[in-house]
Structure 1
């Protein structure tokens, strides 16, 4: 019996990244992007979920934070991505 892992379109970037915020959007900006969990097209002018991840960046003299944004087509996809 084989076990097939679900497809994750955009994997978690690494353990040093922290989920800062997850929220639904009715409209964010123009464009279409891929759902980070299922790979479906997400119209950014429509209803979708956005997730912001942060990572401390200590390179250089000044501390800063690197940000990464992930987009999901549904709350279910957010949950699936967080589990994988």
Structure 2
């Protein structure tokens, strides 16, 4: 049986990044962004999923962590991207 690898538009950052939150949005802000999984353009003022990842910064940094936000067009794309 052959396994087809899905195209991922925005690869997951390294293993030091931890998923903090994933939630559906029906509006977030004006503008568009690309789905991290499939690459389709998403209206951020419409239905989509947002994911926030955190990474601890080295000791001595003023901020204790760094944030990164990913957006997805569907719950399925969240699942596909999360398992890459």
Number of residues paired by the alignment? 84
What value does the CA root-mean-square deviation take over the aligned residues? 1.7
Query: After TM superposition, which residue ranges in structure 1, 4 or more long, deviate above 6 angstroms?
Result: none
Question: Alpha-carbon deviation of 1:60?
Answer: 3.0
**Secondary structure of 1:79 counterpart:** helix
Q: Which runs of 5+ in 2 are unaligned?
A: none
Structure 1 length-normalised TM: 0.91
Deviations 1:10-33 (A, max 9, x none): 011100000000000010000011
Q: Which runs of 5+ in 1 are unaligned?
A: none
Aligned equivalents of 1:16 and 1:64: distance in 2? 14
Structure 2 length-normalised TM: 0.91
2:43 matched residue in structure 1:
43
Aligned equivalents of 1:24 and 1:2: distance in 2? 33
Aligned equivalents of 2:54 and 2:79: distance in 1? 19
Deviates most, 59-68 or 47-56 = 59-68
